[in-house]
Structure 1
Amino acid sequence: MTVEATPTASGGPGGNASGGAKPPETAEELADWWGVIRSTPPGAQFDDYFERRDLGQIILFGIDSLDPTVQSQIKALRDSGKIVHLYGTLLSNVPDYNGSQIQVDRIEVEE
């Protein structure tokens, strides 16, 4: 399944998830989305985001995990410039970066 989002969904970067086209907390499985994990500036509402780069344009998503090991990986990979491949669930129209959040089950880091 391919899931696409627009870079300006739900009020732009850091949006509050209001006015999204999907019902709150719509969930869709995702596999092998690749890109980089970035930190937000100090004082921002959210601490990090994922730059999806596999579609020929950069699309931004909030990122988190329920698994403490994966949470640590996300934090360690912020601003590293390393390409990561994500597997998990995309939640749409939620209070996270750009009105979306990837709940990561697994991260693979390119060497």
Structure 2
Amino acid sequence: MTSFKDKGKCPFCEKTMTPDISEKNNIRRDKCECTNCRRVIYVCRAPGCRDYARGGSLYDDEFCISCSDKIAEFGKKSSEQFGAAVVLGGAALVTGWLASLNKK
């Protein structure tokens, strides 16, 4: 089948290619095939990304490897910042409680 997909990187062989569409889908993502390694791939769901995500027998990845790494790094930084905010907030509560005990 003729491909009208963007040129992008295959998550399996890591080569830049324009995939073949093996199964056209109007509701979900088109099932594609890498022209180099012939593995099943899908368009990455990250806005603006032109690379491809892995297709599998039980599960298809939503994002390419690069976008998955960026999302994981963002989540790690967010949780670290949230953890620091919780510690500071807890310290402020304890300090306030101790100050109220000293006023009695």
Same fold (TM over 0.5): no
- Higher relative contact order (CA closer than 8 Å, sequence separation 6+): 1
* Higher share in helix: 2
Look at both structures and tell me which one has the larger radius of gyration over its CA atoms. Answer: 2
TM-score by length of 2: 0.30
Larger strand percent? 1
